[in-house]
Every structure is written in structure tokens, then in C-alpha cells.
Amino acid sequence: MGQELKVIVFALGAEEYGVEVEKVKTIERMQPMTRVPKTPAFIKGVINLRGVVTPVIDLRGRFGLEETEYTDNTRIIIVAVGDLEVGLIVDSANDVIDVDEDHIEEPPEVVGGIKAKYLRGIAKTGDDRLLVMLNLSEVLNKNEIIQLEQIGE
């Protein structure tokens, strides 16, 4: 048995994704955002979260998936990567589960239209679900992080 990872499960369309609990600060309901000019379309703007200006990314847009209307289930997952806090808009955040690190396999080149560099791997869960594990440092890669840090200042 490998190390157990606690993972927050969220959905984009029919696919389930996972991100390690220790990288997640909070999960928020959708809220009004302030749009920031001259940023990529998937950066939806900033929110004021308990006094902290937090940039928000639509993960569907980030991954080149079709963006959809936000619903009552839409959530903003606030993640921390290094010193940066960023909100990720997802269709829903469903669950916290344990994943055995030994059960995370290398991702195929493309999963559901998403390039492998954004993915840490595919986790097989105890109940035969497949979970696409995000590689947050790539999802928020350096060039975009610089833009996001400038937004947050």
C-alpha cells in the first residue's frame, strides 16, 4: 500500500477530477466577480474573499472545454500554489475521498481533450471510479501565475 492521499473530488461535465486536500483552502459558492482587463478569457476576474483579492479561473476555459452556464451546484475551489491563492470554477465539488498513491497511473497524452501536462495522473478509487488528478502547478503555469500575481496586488 502506498501513502493515502485525501482528495477533493469535483466535476467538469461528465468527468471527475481530484485535487489534494492540502492544496485546497476553501470551497465557495459562485459570487460576483470583478473582470480584469487584458487577461486571458479563462481568467474570469477577481473576488474579495475575506479581505483577500483572489483571481478566479474557469477550469473549463483553461482546459479548452466548452464553457457552460453556472448553476446552483457551481463552486469556486480556492487552492494555494506557493504563495498564490487562486479560485477554480468547477461544475460541482462532490466529495472527499482517500486515494492510494500507488493507484495513480501516468496520464495518457490527452484525457477528455485535456493535455497531459495539466494532469498528475489517473487515480483508481476503491469503488472503481477513475479520477483525473490535476497537476496544479501546470494548471497555473508560470506565465499565467505572473499575470495572476499582478492581478492580486
pLDDT on residue 151: 60
* Eight-class DSSP state of 39: S
pLDDT on residue 1: 65
pLDDT on residue 144: 60
pLDDT on residue 143: 64
* Residue ranges, the chain, pLDDT below 50: none
How do beta strands 92-100 and 4-12 pair? antiparallel
pLDDT on residue 35: 92
The model's pTM is 0.86
CATH fold, domain 4-152, is: OB fold (Dihydrolipoamide Acetyltransferase, E2P) (2.40.50)
pLDDT on residue 149: 57
Give the containing element (helix H, strand E) for 146. helix 142-152
Of the candidates 16, 12, 17, 21, which has an alpha carbon nearest to the alpha carbon of residue 98? 21
pLDDT on residue 42: 87
Residue with cell 487562486: 86
pLDDT on residue 46: 94
How do beta strands 15-20 and 130-134 pair? parallel
